[in-house]
């Protein structure tokens, strides 16, 4: 019987005026962007943490410390490539991913197909193995006040 592992991930970054908004590797036109040591792509970060969590391999901060200048401005898709390699080296592959991005603005729906395509390319998956949903926070809390954007992800790994 195929062995399965499941992991979940979460990340949040602050919205500021002088940064690009990058989610799932896609730059989205908006007057605010996410602040971070890397490109602050919360969706990709949540997915990586879910992949690592499924194998009890720790979290992204362990592999790419925010204190390390090597990761300053890093493209999170490059980090995802490394995490993907790590799970492959351990004998696992991604079965499917599901995720939610919580953002009051902008509307993400027009960009979701491109995010799925980008992530699928990096992970050698079909886009239909990657679920990305968007929701507002109904103006409640930090996401609702547009102070930040967060993302949640669940990943199922299959023994390769």
Contacted entry of ligand CDI, ligand L45E5XJ5, none for residue 130, CB cut-off 5 to 8 Å set by kind? none
In which residue are the tokens 């930040």 written?
148
CB of 91 to ligand L45E5XJ5, least distance (A): 36
Residues that bind ligand L45E5XJ5 (CB under 6 A): 103, 107-109, 134-136
143 vs 15: CA distance, rounded Å? 9
Toward ligand L45E5XJ5, which CB reaches closer, 77 or 102? 102
Q: Report how far apart, in Å, the C-alpha atoms of 149 and of each of 26, 80, 109, 126 are.
A: 15, 19, 15, 26
Q: Give the pair of three-digit tokens for residue 68.
A: 């390390």
Residue 63 class from Cβ within 10 Å (0-12 exposed, 13-18 middle, 19+ buried)? middle
Contacted entry of ligand CDI, ligand L45E5XJ5, none for residue 43, CB cut-off 5 to 8 Å set by kind? none
CB of 136 to ligand L45E5XJ5, least distance (A): 3
Binding residues for a divalent metal cation, by number, are: 11, 13, 45
């Amino acid at each position: 019987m195929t062995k399965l592992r499941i992991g979940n991930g979460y990340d949040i970054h602050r919205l500021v005026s002088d940064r690009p908004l990058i989610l799932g590797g896609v730059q989205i036109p908006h007057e605010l962007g996410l602040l971070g040591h890397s490109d602050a792509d919360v969706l990709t970060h949540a997915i990586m943490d879910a992949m690592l969590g499924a194998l009890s391999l720790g979290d992204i901060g362990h592999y790419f410390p925010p204190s390390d200048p090597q990761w300053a401005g890093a493209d999170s898709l490059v980090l995802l490539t490394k995490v993907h390699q790590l799970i492959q080296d351990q004998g696992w592959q991604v079965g499917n991913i599901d995720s939610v991005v919580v953002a009051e603005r902008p509307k993400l729906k027009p960009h979701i197909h491109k995010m799925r395509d980008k992530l699928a390319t990096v992970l050698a998956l079909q886009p239909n193995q990657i679920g990305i949903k968007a929701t507002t926070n109904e103006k409640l809390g930090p996401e609702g006040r547009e102070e930040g954007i967060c993302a949640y992800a669940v990943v199922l790994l299959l023994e390769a």
